[in-house]
Amino acid sequence: MDRKLAAILAADVVGYSKMMESDEQGTFERLRSGRKELFEPEIARHHGRIFKLMGDGLLAEFASVVDAVECAVALQCGLAERNSSVAEDDRINVRIGVNLGELIIEGEDFYGEGVNIAARLEHMAEPGSVYVSGKVAHEVEKKLSFGFEPLGKHRMKNIDEPVSVFRVKVQGTPKIRSRSRRRSSFVPWAVAASVAVLAATGGAWLYFDRLGTPASGSAPSIAVLAFDNMSGDPSLGYFSDGVSEDIIAGLARSTDLSVIARNSSFTYKGKPTDVRQIGTDLNVNYVLEGSVRKDADQVRIVAQLINAKTGAHVWAERFDQSGSNPMALQDAVTERIVGALASETGQIKRSSYREAWGKDAASLEEYDYYLRGHDKLLQNTPEAVEEAYQIWTEAISKYPESSLLKFKMGFLYYIRASNGWSKDPEEDLRLVGEMAREGMSKPNLSPLEKKLGNWLLAYASHVERDFKKALAQAEAAIAMAPGDAYMAAVLADVATGAGDTQKAVSWSDFGIRNDPALSYLYLWFKGWALTAGGKYQDSAAVMEEQDDWVVHIPVIKAINFVNMGMLEEAKANIKKALEFDPSWSAAKWREITFVDDEVLDRQVSDLIKAGLPER
C-alpha cells in the first residue's frame, strides 16, 4: 500500500440541493462556469490536482501546504468577486477545509485520515470561509500574511484525537515568494545575459527525421478541443471556435509538437467528454480544453492542459483581454496560449521531463537522454551541469551522429564556461561553435534541428564578434518557431550586438508579453538594447523596474546616468556593482561586452567617469 504526505483541500457548495431544486439548469450552468473559470485554473496555478469531483464539491491535493492555503484564499476571493455582480439567490457560496496529513494512494484517488480531516474541516466552515487544521496553521503562519483565528480543539467523526481548528483571517495578500536569484560570477556579457535563461531552458527537445516523424522516442501530441462558449449568447460561438482554430494553427507551427487537425478534435464539440477516452481515440498525449466568455469589448479565456493518459491537470491559466477589435482580441490571447504551451519554457516540455525520469536506464533512447540531461541542466549548479555532461557524453557514445545531442552539448559548454565552472573556458567557448557547426553539417536536418542549430550558431558567431552573421542565424532560428517567446527574447542580445536596437526591443517585448514569468529577464535585455542604442532615458525607465539581481544591472544604470548628466547617481550604481563583485573593472567590461567597437569605447569611458576602476 503506497502512502505519501500532502496537503488536501476540500470544498463544497453551500445549499446545493436547495439550489438544484429551485433552478436545476441554471445552477448546473453556474457551477460548471465556476469550476472551469475559477476552481480548475486556480488549483492548477497553485500546483494542485483535483482528484475527486462530486456534484457539490471537490477534493484536491497539493505538494506544498503553502500553495494549498494560498489557493483556498484565492478561490474564496474569486468567488466573492463573481458573486458581487449576481443576484443573491443565484450566488455560489463555498466552504473550504485544508489539512496536512498522510494519504493512502489507490490509483488516481486518495484515502485516509488526511482526507477525512480536510472534509470535516470543510463541513465545519462557514460559507465563504477557509478552515485549517493546527498542522497547517503551524506550517504556514510565518510564510503568509494571513492571520489564523484559533477555534479550539474539536472531536471529529472517526478521528481518535481532537483536532485543533483555525479560521483563516485574510489581512492582506499572500507574501510573494520571490524567485531565487543567485549572484553571477564574472562572465562574458552576451553569455551572461543568456546563461540565466539557458540554464532555465536551453535548446530544443525533440528529434525528427526529414519526414517530420520522430527519429527516436516520440513527439508529444496534442488535441485542441472546441472551446466552450460561456457568453450566454449562442451567436458568439464563432468567437470561441475561432480561438480554438487559431490555437491549433499556432501550435502546428511548433516543430516540437504533433497537433491533431481541427476536423478530428472538433467532433467532440458540445458532447460530454472523458479526456482519457479522447486520448485513446485520437492517440494523443495531451488535450487542451477551455472556455470563452465575451462581454462587449472584454474577453476572458480559460485554457487547461490535461494529460490524456491519466486525466490529471498539467496546467491551467486564465487570460483577460480588452479591446474593440474582436480579431485583435482573438490573436492576442491565442499568441499567449501558444507561447505558454509550445515555447522552450512551455508546459508540455516540463511535463515531458518528469516522464523521462520514470523510464528504465536500459531502455533510454536519444530523446530520453536529451530530457534527462536537460532536467539536470535546469538546476544550474556546477554539480548538476557535470551530471548533465556525463549523461550526454554517454548519449553521444551511443548516438555519435546525433545533431540534437551535439547542439545540446554545445549549450552545456556555453553555460559551463560562462558561469566560471570550466577548467578551460576558452576551449569550452571554442567548442560551442564546433558543436554547432558539426551538427549543422549533417544531411537531412529536421526543422527542429535547424532551429536549434541556428540558435547555437547565433551565440557562437556573437561571441566571435561576427555580428552580421549572428543576427542572420538568430532570425533563421526565430523564423522556424515564431511562437517561441523565450527564444525570441533571449536572442534580443544578438540583435543588440548587431546594432539593431528596434529588433532587440521588439523581441524583448514579445517575451515580456507572452512569457511573463521571465519578464524580469526580458526587461534586462530590453534595457541593455536601449542603452547600447544610445536611448539612455528610455533605458533608465525600463531599468528602474529592475532589482539589482546581477552585477550588470547597476553597471547599465551607471552608463545611462552618465549620459543623462546625473554623475552622482552613476557613481552610486558603480558602488553597488563593486559591492556585488569587487573584481569588476572597465577592462573586464571591454572583454565581456559584444557590441560595435565605437559603442564599447564610449561605454568604457562612461564607466571610468562613474568611478569603475580601469583594471
At 320, is the secondary structure helix, strand, or coil? strand
- Residue labelled with grid coordinates 564607466: 607
pLDDT on residue 293: 83
Backbone torsions φ then ψ of 106, nearest 5 degrees: -140, 95
Degrees (nearest 5) of the Cα angle 232, 241, 25?
30
Sign, CA dihedral 167-173-179-183, equals negative
Q: How confident is the model at residue 191 (pLDDT cuts 50, 70, 90)?
A: very low
Q: Where are the alpha helices (DSSP H) in 7-100?
A: 16-22, 24-34, 40-45, 65-83
Output the pLDDT for position 508: 94
Question: Which amino acid does the sequence have at 466?
Answer: D
Residue type, 493: D
Residues 242-275: b if buried by 16+ CB within 10 A, e if exposed = bbbbbbbebbbbbbbbbbbebeebbebeeeeeeb
CA 251/CA 482 separation, integer angstroms: 10
Query: Could you tell me the pLDDT band of residue 378, with boundaries at 50, 70 and 90?
Result: low
Please determine, for residue 44, whether its predicted confidence score (pLDDT) is greater than 80.
Answer: yes
Mean pLDDT comparison of 58-72, 475-489, 558-572, highest-scoring range: 558-572
What is the predicted pLDDT for the residue at 47?
82
- More confident of the two residues 171 and 25: 25
Would you say 293 and 277 are in contact if contact means Cβ atoms under 8 Å apart?
no
**pLDDT at 187 (0 to 100):** 41
Residue 453 has pLDDT above 70, yes or no: yes
Question: Which whole number is the average pLDDT over 242-267?
Answer: 73
Backbone angles phi, psi at 295, to 5 degrees: -140, 105
Which residue matches cell numbers 539557458? 198
The pLDDT score that the predictor gives to residue 271 is 78
Whether the pLDDT of residue 255 is over 60: the answer is yes
pLDDT at 410: 94
What single letter denotes the amino acid at residue 3?
R
Average pLDDT score over residue span 269-284: 84
* Residue % of the chain over a pLDDT of 90: 31
**Higher pLDDT among residues 137 and 110, named by residue:** 137
What is the pLDDT of the chain when averaged over all its residues?
Answer: 80
Q: What is the pLDDT of residue 140?
A: 85
pLDDT of the residue at 256: 65
Beta bridge partners of 131: 97, 167
Task: Name the pLDDT band for 345 (thresholds 50, 70, 90).
Answer: low
pLDDT at 212 over 50: no
Model confidence at 222: pLDDT above 90: no
Identify the pLDDT of residue 317: 76
Confidence band (pLDDT; 50, 70, 90) for 253? low
What percent of the chain has a predicted confidence (pLDDT) above 70? Answer: 80
Note the pLDDT of residue 204: 27
Assign 531 a pLDDT band (cuts: 50, 70, 90). Answer: very high
Strands 57-62 and 2-13: what pairing? antiparallel
Q: Between 211 and 160, where is the model more confident?
A: 160
Average pLDDT over residues 504-529: 87
In DSSP terms, 460 is beta-bridged to none
pLDDT of amino acid 170: 66
113, 101 contact by CB (below 8 A): yes
Q: How confident is the model at residue 541 (pLDDT cuts 50, 70, 90)?
A: very high
Q: Residue 450: CB partners within 8 Å, gap ≥ 6? A: 440, 476, 480
The domains located in the chain, with CATH, are: 2-169 (3.30.70.1230), 221-343 (3.40.50.10610)
Inform me whether the pLDDT recorded for 538 exceeds 90. Answer: yes
Give pLDDT, residue 173: 39
In tens, the pLDDT along 78-115 reads 888 888 877 887 788 999 999 998 888 776 677 888 89
Strand 298-307 with 109-111, pairing: unpaired
Tell me how far apart the alpha carbons of residues 151 and 130 are, in angstroms, rounded to a whole number. Answer: 12
In this structure, are residues 352 and 371 in contact, taking their beta carbons and an 8 Å threshold? yes
Q: For the chain, what is the largest distance between any 2 Cα atoms, rounded to a whole number of angstroms?
A: 81
Top mean pLDDT of 32-36, 56-60, 294-298, 349-353 is at 56-60
Residue 49 predicted with pLDDT over 70: yes
Asked if 21 and 74 touch (Cβ cutoff 8 Å), the reply is no
* More reliable by pLDDT, 506 or 283: 506
Q: If we measure between CA atoms, which residue out of 354, 386, 398, 345 comes closest to residue 372?
A: 354
Measure the CA–CA gap between 338 and 347, rounded to whole angstroms.
10
Q: Which of 16-30, 141-155, 577-591 has the lowest mean pLDDT?
A: 16-30
**Pick from 285, 278, 275, 246: which is nearest to 262 by CA?**
246
Among 171-180, 514-523, 540-549, which range has the highest average pLDDT?
540-549
Residue with the larger pLDDT of the pair 343 and 596:
596
Of the candidates 71, 81, 80, the residue with the CA atom closest to the CA atom of residue 11:
71
Phi, psi of 301 (to 5 degrees): -120, 130
- Which residue intervals of 464-548 are DSSP H helices? 467-480, 485-490, 492-497, 501-514, 519-532, 536-543
222 with 285: CB under 8 angstroms?
yes
